[in-house]
Amino acid sequence: MTRPLIVDWTACEGRGLCADLLPEVLTQDRWGYPQNRHPGPILVPDELEGPARQAVRMCPRLALRLESA
Amino acid sequence: MTMTAMTPAPGLKMPPEGARLFAAADPSQATHLATYGIIPDVTPAQLLEQVRMSGLTGRGGAGFPTARKLEAVTSGSKGPAVVVANGAEGEPASRKDAELLRRAPHLVIDGIEVAARITGAQEAYAYVRAEVVPDLRQALAERRPTVKITVVAATDTFVSGQETAVVSRLNEGPALPRFSRHRIFQRGIGDRATLVQNVETLAHLGLIARYGGVWFASAGTPESTGTFLTTVHPVTEPLTTAPTVWEAAHGLSLRQLISPAAGRPVEELQAVLIGGYHGTWVPLPAALDAPLSRAGLEQYGADLGAGVLVPLASTACGLELTASIVAYLARQSAQQCGPCQFGLPELAQNFTALATGRVGRGGVEAVRQSAGLVENRGACKHPDGTTRLVRSALRVFEKDVTLHQYGRCLARIGEPYGGAR
Ligand code: SF4
Ligand code: SF4
């Protein structure tokens, strides 16, 4: 099972904390904004739900939201 | 199928043959009523059923089924809903919404009233291009609307018509797209359930309320019902010369629509941009007889969008035109989302380099890569619409793309770049 991770692009400032906390799913683009490692929507598998929730909590801009599947 | 909503009401005229939205000879209320008659007094449920039967889809570009949107607002509403008639038409290649408001403002107002009846709204906004505000005000002064309608002049930017931008503006904010944790049909204006509907969609609604869904679907094709407004550009200098707005039935061929304005045999055209700046290039003459309908355009990866058609002569360079559009779109980024703000200028730069023959092999790859960097990464459809245009250009002008990488251009096959400019 996976859950979509939604980025509020208008809030994100691209410092990449989320990519550090969730490296299996996210990397950073050239400008520092979180980039999905795979094409399409950002999906978090169940086993990474913990780190994903941490990223949501720690994002300084409150720009992340983890949706239920 | 019972036709309860069709019970003839006193004053209801027979549906006009041919032109529907443009059937009235002038925009006055008297002519409007003489042409269409009044709207029968039926229940909201009966109205909604007729919309469902009509198969009407949104004419603003996204093509979402209108009945489903109405239902979503109606069921998502705790207090009274709000209706928004969207005529912002930020797309510079489109003229149809302004033309409709000029020629048939009363049909749009009818549509607002019908949508309000279905959703239980008591309040509505008309968000339209500044130039047609007087036309709409004049029409409103001629009648007593059944809902309170506030007319607001739209901001003249490309993204001003995106639903979240419209709602933000009407909430006294800037006309910029918004990231929202709620859907607009649940919480839009003043946190109330909000129906944002293109003005043309509403005008069709005004007719469906009179003549029913079966009548509506008697024009068009089974999957793309009814008529639609289309902005057709002439072949020469498509971005500057005045286009024509037609009402056409879905299923008409591209040839039938672009021939009158082409000024040359349509077989000499190399492509047509369908849907506007966020649209898709479709190859000609291959697609000349493609029916303008969802099914007819599917094989070209295109859809009608807001109905814009820009034909391209075989003596023009499609990549050059695309490059200028992409540069414009990059400038129209609302600068709120990093990937859009930084990625679109880079995409425009890479595309311009390709179009002007300034890059060697690898130029296309650079374009593809920067397209990939903006896709799916914004609060609105601006990045995805732009990459849609870019990818269709790479596909349809494939041969030219190859030539450009060798510093040549199909439109000026004899001249190496540099010499000509
Ligand atoms: S942590 Fe938040 S602000 Fe920082 S890059 Fe990730 S989403 Fe953007
Ligand atoms: S994607 Fe671009 S145009 Fe849309 S809201 Fe973000 S910055 Fe503005």
Instruction: Read off the pLDDT of residues B35-69 as tens digits, 9 standing for 90 and up.
Output: 999 999 999 999 999 999 999 999 998 889 999 99
Q: Does B342 touch chain A (CB under 8 A)?
A: yes
pLDDT of res. B8 = 45
pLDDT of res. B78 = 77
Task: Using CA coordinates, name the residue in chain B closest to A42.
Answer: B376
Would the CB atoms of B178 and A11 count as touching at under 8 Å? no
Q: Cα distance from B338 to chain A (closest Cα, Å)?
A: 7
Q: Does B178 touch chain A (CB under 8 A)?
A: yes
Within 13 Å and on the Cβ side, how many CA atoms surround B19?
A: 14
The DSSP line for B111-136 is: HHHHHHHHHT-SEEEEEE-GGGHHHH
pLDDT of res. B137 = 97
Q: Is the CB of A7 under 6 A from ligand 1?
A: yes
% of chain B at pLDDT higher than 70: 92
The residue-averaged pLDDT of B274-300 equals: 95
CA distances from B171 to A8, A25, B63, B127 (A): 20, 36, 25, 12
pTM of the model as a whole: 0.91
Is the separation of the CB atoms in B86 and B199 below 8 Å?
Answer: yes
Residue B308: burial class (beta carbons within 10 Å; 0-12, 13-18, 19+): buried
Enumerate residue ranges in chain A where pLDDT < 50.
Answer: none
- Given a cut of 80, whether residue B421 has pLDDT beyond it is no
Q: Which residue type occupies B23?
A: A
Is the separation of the CB atoms in B165 and B159 below 8 Å?
Answer: yes
Q: Cα distance from B349 to chain A (closest Cα, Å)?
A: 16
- Given a cut of 70, whether residue B1 has pLDDT beyond it is no
For chain B, what is the mean pLDDT?
Answer: 90
CA of B380 relative to ligand 1 center, distance in Å: 18
Least CB–CB distance from B179: residue in A11, A14, A35 = A11
Strand A2-7 versus strand A64-66 pairing type? antiparallel
Strand partners, B1: none
- Given a cut of 90, whether residue B302 has pLDDT beyond it is yes
Helix crossing, B66-75 with B105-119: angle to 10°?
40
Where does the pLDDT of residue B263 fall: very low under 50, low under 70, confident under 90, or very high at 90 and above? confident
Q: How far apart are CA B117 and CA B300, in angstroms?
A: 39
- Given a cut of 80, whether residue B182 has pLDDT beyond it is no
Would the CB atoms of A9 and B179 count as touching at under 8 Å? yes
- Given a cut of 50, whether residue B5 has pLDDT beyond it is no
Which pLDDT tens digit goes with each residue over B91-101? 999 999 999 99
Q: How far apart are CA B383 and CA B390, in angstroms?
A: 11
List the one residue out of B189, B163, B193, B183 whose CA is nearest residue B175.
B163
Which pLDDT tens digit goes with each residue over B60-92? 988 899 999 999 998 876 788 999 999 999 999
pLDDT of res. B253 = 94
Where does the pLDDT of residue B270 fall: very low under 50, low under 70, confident under 90, or very high at 90 and above? very high
Q: Does A4 touch chain B (CB under 8 A)?
A: no
The residue-averaged pLDDT of B179-186 equals: 80
Least CB–CB distance from A10: residue in B343, B376, B379 = B379
DSSP code for B8: P
What are the tokens at B291?
A: 């029916």
List the one residue out of A39, A31, A37, A38 whose CA is nearest residue A12.
A31
Measured CA angle at B340 (ends B339, B344), to 5 deg: 110
Please report where in the chains the tokens 């269409």 appear, as a residue: B36
Least CB–CB distance from A9: residue in B372, B373, B379 = B379
Is the separation of the CB atoms in B125 and B150 below 8 Å?
Answer: yes
Q: Is cis: bond before B243, omega within 30 of 0? A: no
Contacting residues of A for B181, CB less than 8 Å apart: 65
Which pLDDT tens digit goes with each residue over B311-369? 999 888 999 999 999 999 999 999 999 999 999 999 999 999 999 988 878 889 999 99
